[in-house]
Chains A and B, each alone.
Chain A
Amino acid sequence: MADVIKPGDAKEVEDAVRWALGNQKVLEVAGQGSKRAIGRPSQTDITLDLTALSGVMLYEPAELVLSAKAGTPLSEIEALLDQNNQQLEFEPMDYGPLFGREAGQGTLGGVIAANLSGPRRIKAGAARDHFLGVSAVTGRGEIIKSGGRVVKNVTGYDLCKLLAGSWGTLAAMTEITVKVLPKAETVATVIVGGLDDARAAQAMAAAMGSACEVSGAAHLPDHVASCFDSLPNSEATTALRLEGFGSSVKHRTEALIALMKPFGQVALLDEKNSRALWRDVREVKPFAAESARTRPLWRISTAPGKGYEIAAAITPAAQMFYDWAGGLLWAAMPFADEPDAASVRGAVRSLGGHSTLVRAPAAVRAAVDVFEPEQAALAALSKRVKEGFDPKGVLNPGRMWAGV
């Protein structure tokens, strides 16, 4: 059973890392541990639990900015923003249910470290795009800061971007500043029924290529459509979300319905069903059900026009659906111990993009690259970047790749 250190402030995080350096110990950097099962399984001596670093330090709605300690629960931040009719516009997805945990867990630090985003990624960007400033303790046991509290800043290298999505392998973040934005006044969803994957990709491209400002575009093939309670039936559904001021959503809904008519049967989901549908898409609901949880799960990011081609190269026994206008493919493989990495990675190599084996038994994740393997020169560069921040490999070593 691994020990846990629970520092109460940044200085104690620094002390903990220095202690690890001095004693050849390896730390598991964690918040609430809601994404602990993602990544390569690796041996660590002690868990650096950052949940005691909690609390919003600054929130100025008129300045669209919020700073909080890294271990602050995401739910607390979202509730606070909601009171002011604001939100994290990147709509962070929730990995919890995919691993049989309750929804709504996780910390702000975890959101950033995993660079989470949701269906609105196509319009609003990911966590990285809203991450303005950071304080962190590097694997050298030093407190560093980067960025600031303003949205427009090019002073120095953008280390925030580097830390976003680094899964705690470079530094343990202690304070985080993010951009926040107003919530949309209303939401509606135009759905098109009965399209095959290729045709759905065309429909989504047409919608995204219109002036309708689509803020979510998903295709839910018939084998997963029944998992979404908010849909009127269980046939394949292509869903397009519109958000904004009422007058504008009404106008754009009419325009989008006209644009989608040639593709198939068009219907409209009201605000309530829209919110339910996009929450289910964000939480990858079809593969969070208990019966689906033994299936290895791939998350594949590719060009929106290539998603269905990658899907076609994967075994037909896999269950899949598309977010990000076809550019994000969730693929659940049929057998627990067979992620079929060769066909997934082969398709990604030839069609472009990257794939992550989000869920699989530890033994499988130890044997198969969880994150997309990088070309040799790029892999060497990534390793040098890691060594700059964490030369002794005391922070989550090996979680992304062996030796990094």
Chain B
Amino acid sequence: MSLKMPEVDSAVLARRDRIVAALRTIVSGEGVIATEREMKPFESDGLTAYRQPPMVVVLPETTEQVAQVLHYCHDEGIKVVPRGAGTSLSGGALPLADGVLLGMAKFNRIREIDFESRVAVVEPGVTNLAVSNAVADAGFYYAPDPSSQIACTIGGNVAENSGGVHCLKYGMTTNNVLGCEIVLMTGEMIRIGGKHLDAGGYDLLGLINGSEGLLGVITEITVRILKKPETARAMLIGFPTSEDAGACVSAIIAAGIIPGGMEMMDKPAIHAVEEFVHAGYPLDVEALLIVEVDGPLAEANDLIERIEIIAAKCNALSCRASTSEQQRLLFWAGRKAAFPAAGRISPDYYCVDPTIPRGKLPFVLKRIREMSEKYGLRCANVFHAGDGNLHPLILYDANRPGELEKTEEFGAEIMKLCVEVGGVLTGEHGAGVEKRDLMPLMFSEIDLAAQQRVKCAFDAKGLLNPGKLFPTLHRCAELGRLHISGGKLPFPDIPRF
């Protein structure tokens, strides 16, 4: 592992036995895991290139236990890494050798479903899909649907501000969370928001969403649930070039249509997926769009007709609309299986997720193809076309010396390009350890210091998930210092009235 993590505190490691014993007084029985063999499953998350066994794993069951564990670690100066289902693709839950890994899997109950106010109150370890399933009988669902929704937890979704294929119309996690209970590193418990819209005071909820486990440990979440649309129909539209597909996406939006989902795949991705899932994707096209429209049947049918006309004008080679729910799900099954499909045609794959202004798509795809040749690595592209969130899957073999390094370089070059064209490093996977060192591509020292002061307001000792998100660690005291320049009016030209 070439990654530089915070220096290991040898004094903490030397006290390991005492620390484990103390944690056992808070969480009894199997809730504290300290043997090498049993800790093995926790040593990495979805970013498997990096592994690190933690000092000890703690699996609390109550908010009170979380508070006591954090309070104890705060007093003792012990680092803590929170973990949901461990599906992070950016190493957000990568353990620290001298840190407690705080697994939230036992917080797996749905506490309340309130159809009158259309919210569900859930514990963070509940899976994304389980929320939708719990309200499905009444015809409701939880909108954000990351592809890992069978496994990923709501707590992790909040920490990463997860997206999914329906973001353009229904928003990301942050737009669908109304409240949460968090425990700060000091052990203090705080409730933000609730069942109402727009929490009063500063929008700390907006900060918690996407904070990558650095601000607090989430112990309860209130999410909005929505009534399922009456119908949803998906279309498969094939194009001779990705430029045509990109133009079609823009034309659909220009026509005032915001589809429930709009995904694009390039030829290598289409072929990989079709061989795996047999979703009926056309193989003779360079780019494929999956467009889903939802609403009353009359609306869905109307929109499909409008989109068919737009697609034809954009040189579509083929256009099929699903005629049954089964077929709609099959159309999606291909897209949702893109990652495992890549895993089938290559020993390893690596995915980055920058977002770009949609208009830059043809240019960026062309550059990615050129990079693919330069690095001698295949790359399949799937992406959320509606919102410009790319997912280039770089195929490599970790057993070949140097290939992982080359792959990471390729990924970094893609991300640099995306920032250059006005995009951002990550659309939904988070910075974690993976993109941590690339943050200066987007942010100045001053920008990053402002973010780190937010971290200091929540965790002044910097004990919660250090080594993630920020390329360099600064002490809060140092960040807080104020250097005042001037004393005289330095702007004589400013009009004063």
Q: Tell me if chain B binds chain A.
A: yes
* Segment of B204-212, B271-279, B308-316, B320-328 in the binding face: B204-212
A262 within 8 A of B: no
Q: How far is the CA of A217 from the CA of B266 in the complex (A)?
A: 43
Chain A neighbourhood of B195, CB < 8 A: 302-304, 306, 352-353
Chain A neighbourhood of B297, CB < 8 A: 251
Q: Are B168 and A151 in contact (CB under 8 A)?
A: yes
Residues 405-451 of B at the A interface (beta carbon under 8 Å): 422-431, 435, 439, 442-444, 446-448, 450-451
Chain B neighbourhood of A232, CB < 8 A: none
Q: Are A128 and B198 in contact (CB under 8 A)?
A: yes
Q: Are B204 and A154 in contact (CB under 8 A)?
A: no
Q: Are B496 and A145 in contact (CB under 8 A)?
A: no
The residue in A7, A304, A388 that gathers the most chain B C-beta atoms within 10 A of its C-beta is A388
B189 within 8 A of A: yes
* Segment of A35-43, A205-213, A265-273 in the binding face: A205-213
Residues 334-385 of A at the B interface (beta carbon under 8 Å): 352-356, 371-372, 374-375, 377-378, 381-382, 384-385
A: number of interface residues (CB 8 Å): 109
Q: How far is the CA of A124 from the CA of B176 in the complex (A)?
A: 11
B349 to chain A, nearest CB (A): 21
B296 within 8 A of A: yes
Using C-beta atoms within 8 Å of the partner chain, give the interface range for chain B: 35 or more
Q: Are A152 and B202 in contact (CB under 8 A)?
A: no
Q: How many A-B residue pairs have CB under 8 A?
A: 328
Q: Are B202 and A382 in contact (CB under 8 A)?
A: yes
Chain A neighbourhood of B184, CB < 8 A: 377, 381
Q: How far is the CA of A382 from the CA of B358 in the complex (A)?
A: 37
Q: Are A15 and B491 in contact (CB under 8 A)?
A: yes
The residue in A151, A328, A375 that gathers the most chain B C-beta atoms within 10 A of its C-beta is A151
Q: Are B114 and A150 in contact (CB under 8 A)?
A: no
The answer to whether A150 and B201 touch (CB under 8 A), given A244-B299, A303-B194, A353-B194, is no
Q: Which of B118, B442, B480, B497 contacts A156 (CB 8 A)?
A: B442
Q: Are B486 and A18 in contact (CB under 8 A)?
A: yes
Q: How far is the CA of A129 from the CA of B161 in the complex (A)?
A: 13
Chain A neighbourhood of B298, CB < 8 A: 247-248, 250-251
A76 within 8 A of B: no
The answer to whether A244 and B450 touch (CB under 8 A), given A12-B491, A62-B253, A154-B428, is no
Chain A neighbourhood of B29, CB < 8 A: none
A163 to chain B, nearest CB (A): 8
A252 within 8 A of B: yes
B11 within 8 A of A: no
Known: A121-B198, A251-B296. 8 other contacts (CB 8 A): A6-B496, A12-B491, A141-B485, A158-B174, A166-B202, A170-B202, A303-B114, A391-B480
A-B contact pairs, 15 of them (CB 8 A): A19-B490, A22-B484, A62-B358, A128-B206, A144-B446, A151-B355, A153-B424, A154-B160, A154-B427, A154-B428, A162-B203, A248-B298, A377-B189, A388-B457, A400-B201
Query: Closest 5 CB pairs between A and B?
Result: A161-B206, A354-B200, A388-B453, A248-B299, A303-B195
